[in-house]
Structure 1
Amino acid sequence: MKRFFTLIFVFLALLPVILTTPSCPSGFKLVNKNKCLKVFSEYDKHFEAESVCRGYGGTFATAHNAIDNRAIVSFAGNAALAYIWMGMFCFGNQSSTCYHDDGSGVVKYNNFAPGMPKVDSTIRDGGCVYTPAFGNDAGKWYSGPCEWTGIEYVCEVPVTKNDTCTYNYNGNCYFPSNLLPIEDVDRNFYDALNICHTHSMELLSIHSRREIDFIKSIYKNSGIVELTLGAQAIQKNLFDWTDGTNFDYDNFDPLSTTNGSCLQMDLSERDDIGMWYQTDCLTVKYFMCVRPAGSTTGAIEISTKEKRVNPKFQATRFTPPKILDLSDSSNCNTTLLLAPGVITSLGYSDNKPLIAYCSWKVAVLGPYRLGLYFTDFSVKNPVNVYSDNNTLLDSFDDNKTPFSLLAPSNLVTLTHDSVNDGVNNYHGFSATVLPY
């Protein structure tokens, strides 16, 4: 009996350690206690391979130091991979123009081979990075065309904590309402919030593009076309998360015309799936509860008799969203603008079109393509949009209602000559640039 109680004591003492031990989602392996990696032996071109990683809420494996680089290459080599894509992209011929796919910014540690990176400045080709996984050059980075040939790859997702929940990602467990033991009926926002709170969980808040990718994967092929988020307006067009976290990321649809005090995420069949729009708080069909992974919360057994909560649940807390706005000037003829942000024709902000020939080179970071959302458009001469290889994607002129163009790559160039705008009573254009 004494031995039994001793074992119980030891187990309880170790329980916090067990629950906080770094772990990986199913199918991924923990490497160096800070990386969750998974090998893919298919020979895919860059974008196709990135799309696979995005389906897990991840990117290509990213090396921030020599230890990471060796670990990734060894992991790939042990799986008999020859070459692998690396999680970065270069816009020029210096490592300072290379950015990590995981959103951490400019590459600081680099292991480029001599003469690398090498990007064709004329057609902006060669910005994708790969490395051999064996031989004397193993771990050396090379840049090359993204869609020329397919190679193998290693995907990386954020490290999480041990938990038995089905959807475990980046330290949190996600519970879709359609999989909870509750009635399939319409509710209002406060009913949904109460369901989560009753079981020590919160309505979903979103803090990165990769988290959106993970959530999209949960609902893929489910037939569900919208998801209510755990956000409410604290004043017109300004939202905050009800779980108390900072509103440090957003994915609003620039072309949405709806209004309301709640937010929904679009899960319908569109190329830029995952965008947010305003809605009223009266009808909530699908939502998601979230709790920290590794917590000791018990099993989810939600009663169908849901309690009402006071609609004045939200504290009077104000945390302004951090939004990068590139429209302080038109950015005419700037070398490269990194989205998200806004570009405009010259003089647009003052409603006084200026005469100039302008070009805008705009890019999105990470494993994404670039979306242009023209929220206002009024020009005489056309706005031409070119892909990263200088292929004309489309050309627009005259007065147009808001519209979008989804580019097939992460880099586009726009050109416009405004010489005939002002004299013909055209006022210019404004476009929001987002990843998709």
Structure 2
Amino acid sequence: VQSTQSSCPSGYDIMWKGMCVRSIELSASGTVRNLTDYALFECAKGGGIPPKVDTGEVVNFMHSRWASGVGVKWDALGVVCDTKTSKFHWADGTPIIIPVPSVSCGSSTLYFNAETSKIESNSNDWDAWGLNLWCFKTIDLEIEENCYDYDVIQSSDGDVETCAKLSSNSLTMEMAEEECEADFSGLASIHSKQANDFIRRQATSMGYLNGLLIGGNVFDNGTFSWIDGSPVDYTNFAPGFPLPGDGSCVAMLTSSVAGQWINTDCSISIPFACTRTPDAQAPACGSKVYKEGEIIYSPGYPKNASEPCDYELQVPERKIVQLEILNFEANSCCDHLTLHEGTVGGRLIANLTGGNLNGRKFRTFASNVMHLSWQPYGGENVR
């Protein structure tokens, strides 16, 4: 299984695979023609163009922005006049094949009406308008194995063995496992020397030289298992370990060239490693009611979450709901998670977007029910 990954230039948000968008701030209004020329000029600086409304994604993007109360209902288009034919073409040189008003580009200019989702024309070069100005930019996609923001660990035959990610947070085993689970993974289980060496190298390169928690469990009789239940087909304990009475958790000695393991007390707090399989099944949007202690995932997590979804959180009567954000990424231009009191029509608790929300907590005011609504209008690089 593979997924596409890419990044947008500074100032752009990624809206869907291979397409980035940014808004041009404008302090004054102007004629449709002048604003269109201005948008063409500003977008060209970064290798982009104003909108081509020849795909459903672009049309839906601009309509949804207007419907959500952002900006005005008119948008400048990436159109250029061919003086030889007096017809418009897109700014990237491609012909316009969708229906447009039959006007001469020498005397009129095209713009997009986001309310009706149609292209309209304007021939007044004296009326001052307010238009939304957008730049769109196509980027090349790099195909990578389906590990998203985790590192790919390859087996000796070149296949993807597992996906791994190290955390600098110093946590106990129980808290580390919770953080891994919140990222749709688990404390690392290691099944080959290649994987062990990779994790050890990553730890030392990141400066984690005082040990790294992994997902092993040592029983009182000295036997060993992985807490995710996977088979024990590889071990790398230091000589004499596991030692009876030294604890039931397992840590890698990252200062050791061989990355050997020891058993240790589960109350120690050190950095840790999470792993997950590259073909881990992504969650879907369901209709269940979430109870206390359950973790909520957006559809498609940990990859992009382009599907809208509603969630209901419920605790026993005479209690209130508290929601903690473990991991939240959204484009501030267009992706929102709203939190409401009760089931339908309740008081707005918060409207969340952007980043820097991890660890934040939100509570209902009096109700034992909280309603969440995830509304992504881009869906790429959001989760």
Q: TM range, normalised to the smaller chain?
A: 0.3 to 0.5
Which structure dedicates a bigger proportion of its chain to helix? Answer: 1
Larger Rg: 2
TM-score (norm 2): 0.36
Normalised by the length of structure 1, the TM-score is: 0.32
